[in-house]
Amino acid sequence: MVTLSTALYGRIRDRESALDVARWAGDGYLITAVAITAFAFLSWPRLLCVAAAYAILGYFTRCRFSRVAAVAGVALSIPCLLIPFLFPGDRSSLLFGIVVWFGVRGVDATLKLHGRFSLQRSSQGT
């Protein structure tokens, strides 16, 4: 089992650690979807589309280990990270900075799952 610090900074050495890091990345997308949903209900309902996109990408990254979903999550997070710099006083850049980092780690893990570690057997049954 990979801890949070290992998921953020550790090396991906085998298939099991790649699976765990991809799951952490999917969880990061799902937590972001929940946070955006709460914010959307409080102030701006149009953000529910972004929250739905994060939820879908989180599911496919966490459960299906999709490379496309991991890359799309990073592509969605980068503009969200840059928008607060255009409007000073907004503090959401920290959340999206963390999501971008989890996304980059998820892209690395899913690429290794479908590349280098694709022929290895997993003890977790996936």
> Exposed, middle or buried: residue 105 (CB in 10 Å: 0-12, 13-18, 19+)?
buried
- pTM of the model as a whole: 0.84
d(CA 11, CA 51): 30
pLDDT digits 0-9 by tens, 34-55: 998 998 898 888 889 999 999 9
Stretch 11-31: mean pLDDT: 91
- Closest among 24, 26, 25 to 55, alpha carbons compared: 26
Residue 5's pLDDT band (cuts 50, 70, 90): confident
- Distance set, CA 96 to CA 1, 15, 84, 112 (Å): 25, 27, 10, 24
For the chain, domain boundaries: 15-114
